[in-house]
Structure 1
């Protein structure tokens, strides 16, 4: 069956609830996928663009958009030229014989071209160190030509268009990769040990089916004994599908979920940082929490109906075939 889940925009805008809310998505990126820098850059860019375009026009004019778009040709951009930027001090002493008026005029002209006078220059430099430095813990995983393009042009202008292509790339990664993996984990309401238990039970019932069929055929018993195959096949299929989906249906029908370890670890760290509290919220430290998002609630109901139907139909088909074969003594 298919169910339409919210797209990445709904999560990023905070329109979803537990267990697919913005909080859970951030914890997943931070503790499971280890790519929280994508989310940090995404929000920083949106905030930075809004603040930049709210500046007066004469301030925005100091930072013109880059002339080129990022491409493979960006590998040829001369990053070495960045260290040769003209400074006010060197220009001021370049011609000692010039008059004071000419010196002031030259300094003023260079001041207007100096990248240090561009709006949000310190913030852009900090963003370069944070997201595009090889030694940074929050370095973005992007193509080399795009990184070189951003480093080159961000040292010349603070216009948001410098980072636009990177913003689109980060959004694409979260939409096509991170979201899919996040939903896979967030929709499960049991952990790894619960999944192993369900696969083990599925194997147990499968062996029971084989044993029943073997004994009834070897000892030529009445074929109606093979009706015992039905509950065993049902249990086998039901537990295997349950394990594959990472779902405890008894818990799902109660709208509960077991918090994944990547969320629980963060909660324990938060509790340790807040030891001054005299009382703790039981719900906040419990590994069992309620499911609130209506899409997930609907998904759990449909998944139960789907699993139950498949298990019942498969068990009925196998049982009919087993009973129809006769090996009774004449």
Structure 2
């Protein structure tokens, strides 16, 4: 596979403020839509690693959809977006395949209905904000800023989330029978009824198709305190609940899906690509940086000794090797890559992948399932086991081959850039020392 352009730049990290600006710009563009490939807004992502390709199973580890989910759980702490996204896509398919008589009981939630409810919900929300004392917490409640404000830089210290769900194995549909569990049937109905009443909506007809499943979605993703509560503004939450009180048609989830889809495409996906380019864990990357600096200093030490000695001027070319290797290693490490691992096209096994149970199954939650407890992982056995590993063992953790060709292509390009940068700076240092007169001290 050919290299990318030598001017290639990996995707920039998308913080909440950048995401908000991108989403607003996208909404202001009349011709833009969520499904028109908005993931391409971020530069540095080849088509082979597009959001849709990952979701549709067209990529290999470590860029597969399960790797994306693990990233959202353990690093970004936003797995509920992808969990809801996958559920909705499946729900949309199953609803279209349902009996015609059942579909007739759930009319479509039109755009005109949505606009009317959204306008009313927004008006009530802002009027309430004016009546109540405006505090920072109240202003940012239910927005991107609230969710990201308590996130830790350390991906192994997730803020604890209090689950409201009770494990349930009975299931409501064929799809639900495949899940890890969630709130029980009776509990789901009760909590969903409270959500409808709090939103000022009427209780929906229970004869609509997938009615019980919709109740579980409300109690799992929408209502306050839900185990996998989505990051929604108050008006988005209220408008969606009112839509679901009218129909169980997939169009009732339009607001939620638009919010989740844009968050995944505009923020999570570019950050996932950027994070996956790094082939080593944090201790290994810092070790590579130290090694790069050490080689550069060794090059300077040798150059100074040769300059002060009676050795011929030609010997001063020798430090170029140390400078080029050191600077290349340092540049690659700055972008999260270890050149030694890259030479083998390997990557470190992630901490949550390192430890297996006695029966050979990996530790982990049912993150690929639509219903279940929250996505907190502090109680998983691997967390303590990994923290107890000494620093040397972390630096030389187990490695695994990178299967995805597009990712290897990106890493090959970054490696070439690092070599060129190392050679460039090495030649500059060499030219400086060649120009300095010899000391002839020894």
TM-score range, shorter chain: 0.7 to 0.9
Question: 250-259 or 138-147: which moved more?
Answer: 250-259
When you count helix as a share of all residues, which structure comes out higher? Answer: 1
Superposition pairs of residues 310-321 of structure 1, within 5 angstroms? 310-321=421-432
Cα deviation for residue 204 of structure 1 reads 1.9
Larger Rg: 1
Q: SS of 1:236's equivalent?
A: helix
Query: Of the candidates 55, 61, 68, which is equivalent to residue 114 of structure 2?
Result: 68
Q: SS of 2:224's equivalent?
A: coil
- Determine if the alignment matches structure 1 residue 292 to structure 2 residue 403: yes
TM-score by length of 1: 0.76
Cα deviation for residue 68 of structure 1 reads 2.1
Query: Of the candidates 213, 217, 229, which is equivalent to residue 139 of structure 1?
Result: 229
Counterpart in the other structure of 2:271:
181
Instruction: Please give the alpha-carbon distance, in whole angstroms, between the structure 1 residues aligned to 2:68 and 2:356.
Output: 13
Counterpart in the other structure of 1:41:
84
Q: SS of 1:117's equivalent?
A: coil
Instruction: Please give the alpha-carbon distance, in whole angstroms, between the structure 2 residues aligned to 1:246 and 1:169.
Output: 31
Distance 1:38 1:7, change over 3 A: same
Cα deviation for residue 318 of structure 1 reads 2.2
Contact 2:278–2:337 (Cα < 8 Å) also in 1: yes
Distance 1:82 1:71, change over 3 A: closer
Counterpart in the other structure of 1:161:
251
Distance 1:135 1:230, change over 3 A: same
Unaligned runs of 5+ in 2: 1-5, 9-43, 126-195, 365-396
Q: SS of 1:304's equivalent?
A: helix
Contact 1:129–1:136 (Cα < 8 Å) also in 2: yes
Query: Of the candidates 51, 55, 61, which is equivalent to residue 18 of structure 1?
Result: 61
Report the RMSD for the aligned CA atoms in angstroms. 3.1
Instruction: Please give the alpha-carbon distance, in whole angstroms, between the structure 2 residues aligned to 1:125 and 1:165.
Output: 17
Cα deviation for residue 77 of structure 1 reads 6.6
Contact 2:324–2:422 (Cα < 8 Å) also in 1: yes
Contact 1:121–1:158 (Cα < 8 Å) also in 2: yes
Cα deviation for residue 85 of structure 1 reads 4.1
Cα deviation for residue 226 of structure 1 reads 3.7
Q: SS of 2:76's equivalent?
A: coil
Query: Of the candidates 28, 31, 52, which is equivalent to residue 9 of structure 1?
Result: 52
Question: 76-85 or 26-35: which moved more?
Answer: 76-85
Contact 1:190–1:258 (Cα < 8 Å) also in 2: yes
Distance 1:77 1:151, change over 3 A: farther
Distance 1:163 1:310, change over 3 A: same
Cα deviation for residue 117 of structure 1 reads 1.9
Instruction: Please give the alpha-carbon distance, in whole angstroms, between the structure 2 residues aligned to 1:159 and 1:272.
Output: 37
Distance 1:136 1:267, change over 3 A: farther
Unaligned runs of 5+ in 1: 87-113, 274-285
CA offset digits 1:28-47 (Å, max 9, x no partner):
11222221111111011111
Cα deviation for residue 11 of structure 1 reads 0.5
Counterpart in the other structure of 2:262:
172
Distance 1:60 1:247, change over 3 A: same
Cα deviation for residue 250 of structure 1 reads 3.1
Instruction: Please give the alpha-carbon distance, in whole angstroms, between the structure 1 residues aligned to 2:356 and 2:253.
Output: 31
Instruction: Please give the alpha-carbon distance, in whole angstroms, between the structure 2 residues aligned to 1:315 and 1:81.
Output: 67
Query: Of the candidates 351, 364, 376, which is equivalent to residue 261 of structure 1?
Result: 351
Q: SS of 1:155's equivalent?
A: helix
Contact 2:202–2:245 (Cα < 8 Å) also in 1: no
Distance 1:248 1:84, change over 3 A: closer
Instruction: Please give the alpha-carbon distance, in whole angstroms, between the structure 1 residues aligned to 2:232 and 2:334.
Output: 33
CA offset digits 1:217-244 (Å, max 9, x no partner):
7789865554344123213311211212
Contact 2:80–2:229 (Cα < 8 Å) also in 1: yes
TM-score by length of 2: 0.58
Superposition pairs of residues 1-330 of structure 1, within 5 angstroms? 1=6, 2=8, 4=46, 5-66=48-109, 67-69=113-115, 71=118, 73-76=120-123, 80=197, 85=202, 115-212=205-302, 223-224=313-314, 226-264=316-354, 270-271=361-362, 287-326=398-437, 328=439
Distance 1:216 1:39, change over 3 A: same
Instruction: Please give the alpha-carbon distance, in whole angstroms, between the structure 2 residues aligned to 1:145 and 1:272.
Output: 38
Cα deviation for residue 271 of structure 1 reads 4.0
Distance 1:270 1:137, change over 3 A: farther
